[in-house]
Chain A
Amino acid sequence: EAGVTQSPTHLIKTRGQQATLRCSPISGHTSVYWYQQALGLGLQFLLWYDEGEERNRGNFPPRFSGRQFPNYSSELNVNALELEDSALYLCASSLGTGGWNQPQHFGDGTRLSIL
């Protein structure tokens, strides 16, 4: 069974640009989560999508946004990039609101570097 896949592996941008990160969940999973792992800050919850809708977001500004497609894959968009956005962005999937106490399964992440 294929795990959570993320693309691209690495992304280099400059300040002010926009970045788009992509995630494909495990087959059968309807929930997708995005997390930011910045140096020294640990993993922080960014966004949760389930059944095509944004269900919740963490304490991040609106320039962090995304969407979930009908096939449950997801896209994270970061606008007006700032130096502090440099981080590993991890996507996770789970069975969603229909599957309580289900573990989240993570991809290998996209390393975003802002120059």
Chain B
Amino acid sequence: KQEVTQIPAALSVPEGENLVLNCSFTDSAIYNLQWFRQDPGKGLTSLLLIQSSQREQTSGRLNASLDKSSGRSTLYIAASQPGDSATYLCAVELSGGGADGLTFGKGTHLIIQP
């Protein structure tokens, strides 16, 4: 059974710092990996999707990498801002076409101090 783990569970840093969030998964036979953010009481906002054949994806200040063979992904946030405060979730899709849904980690709760 696929398990997704996110470290750390919580992180508090001052504004302006660069930071890395970690995600690991037990079964390397994934189809893709997605990073989301969730604001309190809200749904999920898709940030980046990395296909299994890709090594990284970038969007603005966000960069996500994928090392499928070692079962790891990182989300790099550059020049953090208070608006980045949220819970960040990573999720893997095991088979194409959405057949198994997404398997999620429990998230990293990020606080950016002004």
Which of chain B's residues 30-72 have a Cβ closer than 8 Å to chain A?
31-32, 34, 36, 41-46, 49, 51
Interface 9-residue window, one of B11-19, B20-28, B73-81, B100-108: B100-108
B110 at the A interface (CB under 8 A): no
Q: Are A4 and B43 in contact (CB under 8 A)?
A: yes
Q: Are A50 and B43 in contact (CB under 8 A)?
A: no
Q: Are B98 and A48 in contact (CB under 8 A)?
A: yes
Contact with B along A40-63 (1 / 0, CB 8 A): 001111101010000110100000
Q: How far does the alpha carbon of A33 sit from the alpha carbon of B100 in the complex, in Å? A: 10
Chain A nearest CB from B72 CB (Å) reads: 19
Q: How far does the alpha carbon of A57 sit from the alpha carbon of B53 in the complex, in Å? A: 27
Chain A: which residue is nearest B53 at the CB level?
A: A101
Q: Are B31 and A104 in contact (CB under 8 A)?
A: no
Chain A nearest CB from B23 CB (Å) reads: 13
Chain A contacts for B106, CB-based, 8 A: 42
Q: Are A103 and B34 in contact (CB under 8 A)?
A: yes
Q: How far does the alpha carbon of A33 sit from the alpha carbon of B101 in the complex, in Å? A: 7
Interface 9-residue window, one of A13-21, A65-73, A74-82, A92-100: A92-100
Q: Are A90 and B43 in contact (CB under 8 A)?
A: yes
Chain A contacts for B97, CB-based, 8 A: 96-97, 100
- Which chain B residues have a beta carbon within 8 Å of chain A's beta carbons? 31-32, 34, 36, 41-46, 49, 51, 89, 91, 96-107
- Which chain A residues have a beta carbon within 8 Å of chain B's beta carbons? 4, 6, 31, 33, 35, 42-46, 48, 50, 55-56, 58, 90, 92, 94, 96-97, 100-101, 103-109, 111
Closest 3 CB pairs of A and B: A45-B101, A106-B43, A43-B104
